[in-house]
Each structure stands twice: as C-alpha cells, then as structure tokens.
Amino acid sequence: MQSHARGHLVYAAGGVLTVHTERGTSIVPADRVAWTPAGFTHYHRAHGDTDMRIVFLPPSLARRVPDHPVVFLASGLAREALLALTGPRTYDVAAPGYSRSARSRILRVLVDELRETPEQPLHLPEPQDDRLQAVARMLYENPADNTTLAELGRTIGASTRTLSRLFRHELGMTFYEWRTQLRIYHALVLLADGHDATRTAYACGWANPSSFIAAFTGIIGTTPGRYQAGRRATARPPRPPAVVRPSE
C-alpha cells in the first residue's frame, strides 16, 4: 500500500486495472481513467495483458476534479492527451521531450475533458460495518453465490431490513446493485484472462449469458464480445511503465 502527496490518474490503455483504497475498489477496464486524490492509501493491480499509464496532477488542477476516488470514461481527446503525456517523450531519452509549458497545456486539456465526462459506475465501495463486511467476504470468495440477502442475514445474525438499510446508508446502493458491481468486476478479470462470455456468465452467478450481457452492457456500455474485440484491436506492444510527475 502507498500514499502519494499528489493525486494521480491511472489509465488502462489496454487490459483491466483495479485501484484499491480505504474507500473501496475502482474497476478500470480499457479506456477508463481512475482518479485517486492525494493522501489516499492505495495499491494498483493489473489483470491480464495490461498497459498502465500514470499521470500525477499538481494541486492547481487536482482541485478541479472530485475529492474522492472515481472512474471516468476516456474521451478520444483525453485518451490522446494521456498517451502523449506517457509516451516515448517520457521514458525514451532519445525522443524529444515536451517543454514544461507544453506539458502544462496538455494536462489542462486532459482535466477539462475529464470534467465534462460523467462518473462511471465502476467504484465498488468498501463496507465498514462488521455485518456488511461479513456479507462482502462471502461474496468476494464466491461471486456466483446466489444466496438471498435474507439467507445471508440469517448466517451472520442480521435481519434483511437491517442489512438493506446499511447497504443504502453506508454504501449508497442496494444489495442487488452492490452484488452486480462485484460480479462485473470479477467478469472483467475473467474476460481479461481470455474466458468467453458464456463461461464468465456462469462463473459470476448469472443464470444465463443473456442476463450477463445485459448487465455488462448496462455498466460498461458495450457487450462482452465487443469489449474483448476492442481490447485485442487496441493491444499495444510491451513498453516501460509510464509515470508522469508534472511540475506545478
């Protein structure tokens, strides 16, 4: 785990990333950007063949984005700005580098683009209540578990009404919404590892591939098949991890 004095953006140019903080887990499939504000203890994890790019924002720009972890969809312009900031000019001494003023202008364009992008429903909040933590542990271990909330409550000694209230008040979502988010996270990991939609659907608890495709499309914005095809089409050759620490 680590904590940075500056907030940073993590971009998945390919593959799937997760960013874990005390607030929960941000799921970052290809062409998404996760924002982690300064001071949050966190760690990153890559799933499958992943191309991760990291850009640090100075405080003057960090103030213009949310003060909590969030995931954005990368627009075409935001994507090109991220790739420019983390491309050969950053890690290849033979490539001509951007001037300080040029980097600052690109960063401002990037932040402007992110500010115009709705937050993605790809942040899985971390429960704090002991009862919710017990439910979460069971479902993390087996995302295909279709046990009802009432049955889970009997296992841990809490009523359905109490658990429903805790999910809404503490996590800001229903139990069903939270479990769907958890399953989408596991589905993205399996798809990144090369599993097909049918196998992924059953492994993550959907009754059939059609219901999985509908849920996946509703959150990710495209079908599992198109998502995998897009990942293959945008696969990039191996390159050194790119980290940009711009000056103010």
> Dihedral of the CA atoms 45, 47, 48, 49 (nearest 10)?
-40
Q: Band of the pLDDT at 1, cuts 50, 70, 90?
A: low
User: What's the pLDDT tens digit per position in 211-232?
Assistant: 999 999 999 888 999 888 776 5
Residues 16, 46 contacting (CB under 8 angstroms): yes
The boundaries of every CATH 1.10.10.60 domain in the chain are 127-231
Range ranked top by mean pLDDT from 7-16, 157-166, 232-241:
157-166
Report the pLDDT value the prediction gives residue 241, as an integer from 0 to 100.
45
Report the pLDDT value the prediction gives residue 247, as an integer from 0 to 100.
43
User: What's the pLDDT tens digit per position in 68-115?
Assistant: 999 998 999 999 999 999 876 555 445 566 788 999 999 999 999 999
Structure tokens, 66: 């949310």
The pTM of the whole model exceeds 0.85: no
pLDDT at 4 over 80: no
Contacts of 34 (CB under 8 A, 6+ apart): 9, 10, 11, 17, 19, 26, 28, 69, 70, 71, 72
Q: 């992110």: which residue's tokens?
A: 114
Report the pLDDT value the prediction gives residue 60, as an integer from 0 to 100.
93
Report the mean per-residue pLDDT for the chain. 86
Render 31-68 in DSSP notation, one character per residue.
TEEEEE-TT--EEEEEEEEEEEEEEE--HHHHTTS-SS
pLDDT at 237 over 50: no
Report the pLDDT value the prediction gives residue 48, as an integer from 0 to 100.
74
State percent of the chain over pLDDT 90: 56
For helices 224-233 and 209-220, what crossing angle results, to 10°? Answer: 60
Q: Is the CATH number 1.10.10.60 carried by domain 127-231?
A: yes
Structure tokens, 133: 């933590």
Nearest to 9 by CA among 110, 158, 91: 110
The mean pLDDT of 157-174, rounded to a whole number, is 94
Q: Band of the pLDDT at 31, cuts 50, 70, 90?
A: confident
